[in-house]
Structures are given as C-alpha cells and as structure tokens.
Amino acid sequence: MADWLKLPSFLRRRKTEDHAEIAGCCSDYIDGELTEPMLSRLENHLSWCGPCTAFISSLRSTVDSLRGLPAKTPPPELKDAIRREVRNSKN
C-alpha cells in the first residue's frame, strides 16, 4: 500500500478491527473490485460509521482526481535533445 494510503489516526485506535478491515479493502471497493461477503460488510459498516465514510469519500476523490490527470506527452524538442545527447555520448 502506498504511503499516502496510510491509515488515519482514528483507524489505529483500539477496538477498531472493523474500521481497519474496512480501510484494508477500501481501495478495492473504490475500484469496484470488492466481492461478497466483504462488499456487504463494508456497505453495512459505512451505513453507520461516519469516519470510514469520510475516509472512503476523500480517498475516492483523491483517486478520481489522479485519474483525471492528462497523460503527459514530452515535447518533441525534449526528444530531439535526448537523441542529440545519446549521439554525443557515443563519440
């Protein structure tokens, strides 16, 4: 799991096995890859747990905004510069 997905402090307190379990599968949930019976457990948990709901919705908006970033294409002059450098380094 990436660093930015680390559990927020409210999920690390005691008696939070459920919250930790939810947090552990929330990225699958956001990707639509979570399957039963975990899917029902998660949705049931979200129906009463505000912090997990907030956590998942902020994670979802982060993931959505990352997906929304345009794929960057390097400018052609950069390609030329790299080719030139490679050619020069061979001499």
Residues that bind Zn ion (CB under 5 A): 19, 49, 52
CB count within 10 Å of CB 55 equals: 20
CA distance 25 to 32: 11
Closest distance between Zn ion and the C-beta of residue 66, in Å? 24
CA distance 74 to 67: 19
Measured from the CB atom, the residue of 47 and 88 that comes closer to Zn ion is 47
Closest distance between Zn ion and the C-beta of residue 6, in Å? 16
Local structure of residue 91 (DSSP, 8 states): -
Measured from the CB atom, the residue of 6 and 79 that comes closer to Zn ion is 6
Closest distance between Zn ion and the C-beta of residue 45, in Å? 6
Measured from the CB atom, the residue of 26 and 49 that comes closer to Zn ion is 49
Closest CA to 41 of 25, 55, 30, 60: 25
